[in-house]
Amino acid sequence: MKNILVTGCCGYIGSHTVVELLNNDYNVIGLDNFSNSKREVLERIKEITNKEIKFYECNMLDAGKLETIFAENRIDLVIDFAAYKAVGESVEKPVEYYINNVSSVLTLLSIMKKYNTKSLIFSSSATVYGTPKEIPITEESEVGKTTNPYGTSKLYVENILQDVYKSDKNWNICILRYFNPIGAHTSLLIGDSPNGIPANLMPYITKVANKELDCLKIFGNDYDTNDGTGVRDYIHIMDLALAHIKALQKLETEKKGFYIYNLGTGKGYSVLEVVNTFEKVNNIKIPYKIVERRKGDIARYYADVKKAKKELEWEAIYTLEDMCKTSYDFMLKNKGE
Ligand code: UD1
């Protein structure tokens, strides 16, 4: 498999994965509609890799344009990152979320079927587990009971993909369930730069560090965790990107099948531990105050990562210190842009 179509190629996880694909000599055909990303990411990718991708500005819901990409290129495999991802916004705009995150995949699948491209890596999320009954969470843990339309849209797509595979065992599908990706590329040329006020912890902390926001609000310190604040499995974006190459190699070897992997570090850190580590490695104070719990939040979860380690021969190597350092350095290097 040489020609990889990457949807959402300029987004946070998409761009880092494109860099890894190019570094591993894959040809990348990328599409993005810049709904939550910037065109300059294409230049940054070129600067890091000295290679170019073939780029299409395209909304995934535009079936005609999407089909053109398949007509003009022999696509061997698709990595589908293109989706909306803001949990709070999804509660406000469920219809937009289901159309964008579910209909787009249906459009993609029907075109893939028509062009006999049956290999797909899909970006899912640990959110499909809802409130987990057991920790660490394995791939066998029960899914469902998602707490917002974003999470439910990921669950629906997972179900659709299972049905597609059941109907035709020539498909070769890998679902990757991300835990909490943070950090930036070590070149500091690409990273997470969400539009508007960030909803997620690390982008919020970096904006407080930059004095764009006054103070971090920590959502609750009365959870059943080591210090009362929420515990998550934060994973460095560089580790996450590499996992996609491993998943791709797995699909290249197996030729057909249906696979699901958790992508995390297997370690949980509390909000206060993240704040303290950020302060220490960057030598900066992060003012914070404890506020009410955020609706829909879960006390603690982290991944069981044995399956990915065994079957993908991959495990996360970057530390929380690395994640905090690259997040801050990326912001410093790119502020004002
Ligand atoms: C959420 C989604 C997840 C999605 C991820 C990244 C759910 C249940 N979770 O994860 O699917 O993949 O975003 O987009 O749908 N926190 C604060 N103050 C803040 C922000 C966060 O205290 O300003 C705390 C939260 O309460 C939580 C932790 O930090 O304990 C991490 O929050 P966040 O970065 O938003 O990620 P999740 O909610 O875990």
| C-alpha 153 to ligand 1 mean position (Å) | 17
150 is catalytic: yes
How far is ligand 1, taken at its centre, from the CA of residue 259, in Å?
Answer: 26
- What stretches of 161-320 adopt beta strand conformation (E)? 172-178, 180-182, 216-219, 231-232, 234-236, 257-263, 269-270, 288-291
Query: What's the 155 CA to ligand 1 centre distance in angstroms?
Result: 18
- The per-residue pLDDT for 297 is 87
Atom of ligand 1 nearest to the CA of 202: 34
DSSP code per residue over 308-335: HHHHH-------HHHHHHHHHHHHHHHT
Task: Residue count of the chain, please give it.
Answer: 337
DSSP assignment letter at 127: G
Would you state the pLDDT for residue 87? Answer: 87
Compute the distance from residue 248 Cα to the ligand 1 centre, in Å: 28
Q: What is the pLDDT of residue 72?
A: 98
Helix axes 12-23, 237-254, angle to 10 degrees: 60
Q: 194: burial class by Cβ within 10 Å (0-12, 13-18, 19+)? A: middle
Task: Give the Cα separation of 325 and 253 in Å (integer).
Answer: 36
127, two tokens: 């959110």
Considering the entire predicted model, what is its pTM?
0.97
Answer whether 123 contacts ligand 1 (Cβ < 6 A): no
Q: Which residues contact 18 (CB under 8 A, 6 or more apart)?
A: 6, 9, 28, 30, 45, 53
For atom 9 of ligand 1, which residue has the closest CA? 127
Atom of ligand 1 nearest to the CA of 151: 15
**Residue 243 in 3-state DSSP?**
helix
Given a contact cutoff of 8 angstroms between Cβ atoms, the answer to whether 237 and 192 are in contact is yes
Q: What is the pLDDT along the chain (337 residues), one digit of tens a residue?
A: 699 999 999 999 999 999 999 999 999 999 999 999 999 999 999 999 999 999 999 999 999 999 999 999 999 999 999 999 988 899 999 999 999 999 999 999 999 999 999 999 999 999 999 999 999 999 999 999 998 999 999 999 999 999 999 999 999 999 999 999 999 999 999 999 877 888 899 999 999 999 999 999 999 999 999 999 999 999 999 999 999 999 999 999 999 999 999 999 999 999 999 999 999 999 999 999 999 999 878 899 999 999 999 999 999 999 999 999 999 999 999 986 6
Give the pLDDT confidence score for residue 10 in this predicted structure.
97
Whether 186 is in the pocket of ligand 1, judged by its Cβ within 6 Å, is no
Q: Kindly state if the Cβ of 199 falls inside 6 Å of ligand 1.
A: yes
Q: Which residues pair with 247 in a beta bridge?
A: none
Ligand 1 proximity of 180 Cβ (cutoff 6 Å)? yes
Burial tier of 209 (Cβ tally within 10 Å: 0-12, 13-18, 19+)? buried
Residue 125 alpha carbon to ligand 1 centre in Å: 12
* 295 DSSP 8-state letter: T
Q: What is the pLDDT of residue 56?
A: 98
Q: Residue ranges of the alpha helices (H) in 24-62?
A: 40-49
Ligand 1 neighbourhood includes 218 CB (under 6 angstroms): yes
Q: Distance between CA 1 and CA 218 in Å, rounded?
A: 45
Number of helices and strands in the chain (H, E): 12, 13
| Token pair belonging to 108 | 């993609």
Among the options 129, 150, 178, 204, which is catalytic? Answer: 150
145 close to ligand 1 (CB < 6 Angstrom): no
Both tokens assigned to 218:
């920590």
